[in-house]
Structure 1
Amino acid sequence: MNATHLQLMMEAKIYRILQGGFGIPTLKWFGKEGDYNVMVMQLLGPSLEDLFNFCGRRFRLKTVILHADQILMRIEYMHSPNFIHRDIKPENFLMGLGKRGNVVYFIDFGLAKRYRDPRTHLHIPYRENKNLTGTARYVGVNTHLGILESRQGHQFVGVR
């Protein structure tokens, strides 16, 4: 299997670990279809980036607070089994549909990784001169400096 196939397989594994968390989409199926690995997810609505554009790139303060509260809860939930996302951006937060239209869902765990060793619970070793992982516009300052991502990097989500 090549790296792309492994990445999708790892992403499906993370969805399974996080499954059941509020605002985590349901993984319906993951498997092979012919030559392709396929992941089928719960259908969701527009991203926060889409909504921001639809609203003329302005949100009311109440909207920002309601979304920010949910975003922080999703990130905290992802940290609880010792994962960091490494690509936090408005495009990776989608709104639900129907009765769950006000729920912010967290998606795209393709770059996620554990920040603690599951056996020892020690934090991943500090490393410098690392290639950038994630979207340059939104990564933390340390990532731009070539320092390995950690949970602390989630404190600095980029703003346009």
Structure 2
Amino acid sequence: MKDQWRLIHKIGEGAYGEIYSAKNTETNEIAAIKLERADSKKQVLKLEVAVLKKLRGSNYVCKLKTWGRHSDWNFMVMELCGENLSELRKYQGGKFDLVTTLQIGIQIITIIEEIHTLGYIHRDIKPVKHEI
């Protein structure tokens, strides 16, 4: 990861790690990289990688590119998707119209069903986690 990807800037953080936009030094592709300390007691990233590997082919999740460990960090490189629902809602004056709300709801329920079918439960559903 060290030589292939260069971090551009931080785009988010959570309880278990940080997310950066990054550029592939060989292809100039832009992607998202999630980082988690390798010595973290809760290895959340490993579970997330396992779930995303099973969800390959889904139209509702960002595509997993690669994952591994570099130095003191576990990392996951994934497709950088569009803006999250929280940001998009701001552009709409703080709320979506009824039709948009229903369309978003149907898409979220569809991906939750896919996750449940695999035997997992998503426990952190919020607008900043959903990108379009």
Higher strand share: 2
- Whether the 8 Å CA contact 2:39–2:72 is kept in 1: the answer is no
Q: 1:157 maps to which residue? A: none
Q: 1:37 maps to which residue? A: 74
The aligned amino acid for 2:60 is G
Q: 1:5, CA displacement in angstroms?
A: 6.5
Identical-pair percentage: 34
User: Helix, strand or coil: the match of 2:77?
Assistant: strand
- Counterpart-to-counterpart distance in 2, 1:15 and 1:4: 21
Query: For the aligned residues, what is the CA RMSD?
Result: 1.5
- Counterpart-to-counterpart distance in 2, 1:26 and 1:19: 7
- Counterpart-to-counterpart distance in 2, 1:58 and 1:5: 35
Q: 1:15 maps to which residue? A: 52
Q: 2:62 maps to which residue? A: 25
How has the CA–CA distance of structure 1 residues 65 and 41 changed in structure 2, closer, same or farther, with 3 Å as cutoff? Answer: same
User: Helix, strand or coil: the match of 2:62?
Assistant: coil
Could you tell me which runs of 5 or more consecutive residues in structure 2 were left unpaired when the two chains were aligned: 1-37
Q: 2:129 maps to which residue? A: 92
User: Helix, strand or coil: the match of 2:115?
Assistant: helix
> Which structure would you say has the larger Rg?
1
- Whether the 8 Å CA contact 2:81–2:131 is kept in 1: the answer is yes
- Whether the 8 Å CA contact 1:52–1:59 is kept in 2: the answer is yes
Match of 1:76 among 101, 107, 113: 113
- Whether the 8 Å CA contact 1:5–1:37 is kept in 2: the answer is no
Could you tell me which runs of 5 or more consecutive residues in structure 1 were left unpaired when the two chains were aligned: 96-160
Q: 1:34, CA displacement in angstroms?
A: 2.2
